[in-house]
Amino acid sequence: MKHLVTLLVLAMLFVLPVVVLMLIGLAPGWRFPHVWPDEFSPQAIAYLVRNHERILTSLSSSLLFSMLTVLATLPMCLIPAAVFARVDFPGKALVEGLLLTPALVPPMTFAMGLHYVFIKLSLTETMLGVVIMLAMFSYPYMFRALVAGFQSMGEDYRMCARNLGAGPLAIMLKVELPLLIPAVIAGGSVVFLVAFSEYFLVFLIGGGSVDSFTGTLFPLLSSSNRSLAAVLTLIFLFLPIALFVIMDTTLLRLYRKMQMI
C-alpha cells in the first residue's frame, strides 16, 4: 500500500506530463474545459513530416555540437583528473573547488564578458565558438566523474602494466581508458544533456548561424501551435533516451566480447 502511494506520486509528477504532451501532440484542438480530447488528428505529425528537413538540420546540429562538447571535455579533464585522484599537493581542495565553479556560477556572468572577444576573434556564429563555450561550463561534470573513476580504479592496473614494461601513453590508452569507460559515459551523458538542452548560450554565441533544436522549439512554446511544440518536446525526451539505451547495449556487448565481465 505504501509502495503504491510512492509509485502513484512518481507517476503524477513524472509520467503524467509525458502522457499529456502525447495527447496534445495528437489532438491539436484539445482545449478547456475538456479533460480528454474530443478528436484526434495527425496534424502535428504531418507538419513534422512536411518540415522534416528544417527539423532534421537543427536536430543534427544540436547532436553535433553536443557530441563535440563531450569530445572536447574528455581530453581537457583526463590527465588533471588522474592527478587529482592520485597526487596530494598543497591547496588541492581549493584548486578543486575553483575548477568546479564554472558549473555553479551563472554561465551568463563569464559568457557575456567573452562575447565581445568571441566577436573580435570571429568565433561567434561558428560551431567552434559554441562548443568552446558549452565545454567551458559543462566540463566539471566530466571532471568529477573521471576523478571518481580513477579513484575506484586504484593504482594496481597501472603498476602492473608499468612492471610489464608499458610506457605512460600505452598505459593511458590501453589500460586506463578502457577501464574508465563507465566513468566517461557517466560524465559524458551529463555533459551531453547539458549541451543538448542549453538554449541561451547557443543563442548568444551561435547567433542565427548555428542551428539548434532548442532554438527551433523555443518560438513554438509560446505560439498557438502547442501541438507541434509538444511533439518536438517528446523528440527531445526520447532521442537522448534512445541514444543512452543504444550506447549501453553496445557497450555491454563489447565488454562481453572482450570478456571483461
Partner 1 sequence: MSSTSSLILKLSPLALPYLALFCGGVFLTVCQSFGLLTPLPYPGGMVDAYLELLTDSSFFASFVFSLGVAAVSAASAVTIGTLLAYRIWKLPGRLATVALVYKIPLVLPHIAVAFVVLVFWSQSGILASAAHQLGLIRSMTEFPNVLYSGWGIGMILAYTLKGTPFAMLLVMAMLVRFDARQIQTADMLGASGLRIFFSVVLPRLAPAMHTGFIILFLYSFGAFDIPYILSESRPGMLSIQVYNLYFKHDLARRPEAMAILTIMFGFAVLFIVAYSKVVRRLEDGVRKL
Among 1, 33, 165, 224, binds partner 1 (CB under 8 A): 33
**CA 162 centroid distance within chain:** 35
Question: Which of 16, 39, 17, 15 shows the shortest CA–CA distance to 28?
Answer: 39
Distance CA 135, CA 69 (A): 5
**Sites for partner 1 among residues 37-76 (CB under 8 A):** 75-76
Span interacting with partner 1, options 39-47, 53-61, 63-71, 90-98, rule CB under 8 A = 90-98
Determine if 104 is a binding residue for partner 1 (CB under 8 A): yes
The stretches of 200-225 forming alpha helices (DSSP H) are 200-206, 213-221
User: Does 211 contact partner 1 by CB under 8 A?
Assistant: no
Write the DSSP assignment of 144-188 as a string of letters. Answer: HHHHHHHHHH-SHHHHHHHHTT--HHHIIIIIIHHHHHHHHHHHH
> Does residue 139 interact with partner 1 by CB under 8 A?
yes
> Do 223 and 229 touch, CB atoms closer than 8 A?
yes
Nearer to partner 1, 34 or 50 (CB): 34
DSSP state of 38: S
Q: Does 126 bind partner 1 (CB under 8 A)?
A: no
Handedness of CA 250, 196, 19, 227 (dihedral sign): negative
Q: Is 22 in the site for partner 1 (CB under 8 A)?
A: no
Kindly identify the residues of this chain, within the stretch 164-193, that bind partner 1 according to CB under 8 A. 193
* Residue 110 interacts with partner 1 (CB under 8 A): yes or no: yes
Q: Which stretch binds partner 1 (CB under 8 A): 150-158, 169-177, 210-218, 248-256?
A: 210-218
Q: Which of 56, 160, 164, 237 binds partner 1 (CB under 8 A)?
A: 237
Residues 109 and 246: their CA atoms lie apart, in Å, by: 37
Options 132, 172, 179, 181; binder of partner 1; rule CB under 8 A: 132
Q: How far is the CB of 257 from partner 1 (least distance, A)?
A: 26
Question: Is 8 one of the binding residues for partner 1 (CB under 8 A)?
Answer: no
Residue 247 makes contact with partner 1 by CB under 8 A: no
